[in-house]
Amino acid sequence: MPSATLRNHLIARLSSEDRSALTAVATPFDFTLGHVFCEAGDLVTHLYFVDSGIISAVAVMEDGRTVEAYMVGPEGVTSPAAAAASAHTWSRLAAQAPGSARRVEAVRLRALMNDRPGLRTVLADYAVAVQNELEQSAACNALHRADQRFAKWLLRCHDRVEGDTLTLTQEYLASMLGSQRTTVNEAAQTLQKAGAITYSRGRVTITDRAALERVACECYRAGPTPALSA
């Protein structure tokens, strides 16, 4: 699990010169649970290199229903496509777990990338990893059981935060997974019976990670987790 000094893995991969250039134009940004960074359709004016916590990209339907498309922790940066060109986000970006990030203006980041091929390569590699995760998620949502997807999602959260307890209400889980609350409850009960978690009053505690991994679908290993991107 990550240590108490979580720092962004993309920045860590940069050369010392590129790292200094990027951090010189970045500002610290602390965020709380539920903070909304932008809404679907907004022009991306800033990118956030996450040091700790989790930011979720959430697709919002016309009827108000939502489902998480991907999450960003210390392994990545929000809205990676906007690092290459001016772009509007197609999802809502909101904090799923409190933490901190380094905020960079999109126009300044693009200017840096023009002069720094190393930075350009690191961000392009990450953008490809996110695209692969999105493609895998499309199949996952159509083919895998709710308990498998729930286990995958909990593992990805566990990879990105300290400790074994997550504060996640049933309503929030249903929103993130694109499922009804009854479906989330049934999935949670399945994982509890497997001895993988305990779930009570909006708190999920992972009691047996190996058991959770046994339930999770193959898609867990397809995303750009901190372990894979370090």
Interval 55-88: pLDDT, tens: 999 888 888 888 888 899 999 999 999 998 999 9
pLDDT tens by residue, 144-195: 999 999 999 999 999 998 889 988 777 778 877 778 888 888 999 999 999 9
Task: Report the amino acid identity of residue 112.
Answer: L
Mean pLDDT of the chain: 88
Single-letter residue type at 226: P
Residue in the block written with tokens 């309503």: 171
Lowest mean pLDDT among 134-143, 169-178, 217-226: 217-226
Helix (H, G, I), strand (E, B) or coil at 91: coil
The answer to whether residues 91 and 57 touch, using CB atoms and an 8 Å cutoff, is: yes
Q: How confident is the model at residue 224 (pLDDT cuts 50, 70, 90)?
A: low
Place 225 in a pLDDT band, splitting at 50, 70 and 90: low
DSSP state of 145: -
pLDDT at 59: 87
208 CB-near residues (< 8 Å, 6+ apart): 194, 195, 196, 197
20-56 pLDDT, tens digit each? 999 999 999 999 988 999 999 999 999 999 999 999 9
* pLDDT the model gives residue 133: 84
**Contacts of 146 by beta carbon, 8 Å cutoff, 6+ apart:** 177, 179, 183, 184, 186, 187
**Band of pLDDT at residue 2, cut at 50, 70 and 90:** very low
Q: Is the pLDDT confidence value at 226 over 60?
A: no
User: In this predicted structure, what is the pLDDT of residue 220?
Assistant: 87
Residue 129 has pLDDT above 70, yes or no: yes
Q: Is residue 227's pLDDT more than 50?
A: no
**Angle (CA) 68 69 72, round 5°:** 90
Least confident of 18-27, 59-68, 125-134, 208-217: 59-68
Q: What is the pLDDT of residue 176?
A: 73
